[in-house]
Amino acid sequence: MRHLIERYIDAYNRLDVQGMLATLHPQVTFENITAGVTTVSTHGIEEFRRLAQSTLPLFARRRQTVTAYAERDGVAEVAIAFEGVFALDLPNGARAGQAIALDGRSEFRVHDGLLIHIADIST
């Protein structure tokens, strides 16, 4: 499972949506959870593709770095340090060129050798 997750994160860091999709099960679910609230949810590879492509213009660069990894009962829990630089001004006040750094975690599940569930969790 770890190698598959590393392939997914590497593609994410390279802004390579096709590379990300190559690691996903057709029925993949994705959730972004902030402070206990699900802010984004997708089901199926097509919804995930649309979401991933829609976020590409937001960042001039972005990088997820794995800081810890553990597997338990078929779930991989991965601590993530995220760094990015915005490519454009956003309605929330973030400005183009502004850097952002966050710590969070992601949970992954695999089915038939592909990622079937991804949850990005931050506080």
Q: What CATH number should be reported for the domain holding residue 59? A: 3.10.450.50
CA 76 to chain centre: 14
Expressed as residue numbers, the domain containing 96 is: 2-122
pLDDT of 123: 77
Tens digits of pLDDT across the chain (123 residues): 999 999 999 999 999 999 999 999 999 999 999 999 999 999 999 999 999 999 999 999 999 999 999 999 999 999 999 999 999 999 989 999 999 999 999 999 999 999 999 999 987
Number of domains in the chain: 1
Q: Residue 98: its pLDDT value, please?
A: 96
Q: What integer pLDDT is reported at residue 29 of this predicted model?
A: 98
Q: In the chain, helix, strand, coil percent, each to 5?
A: 25, 55, 20
Which one-letter DSSP state was computed for residue 97? T
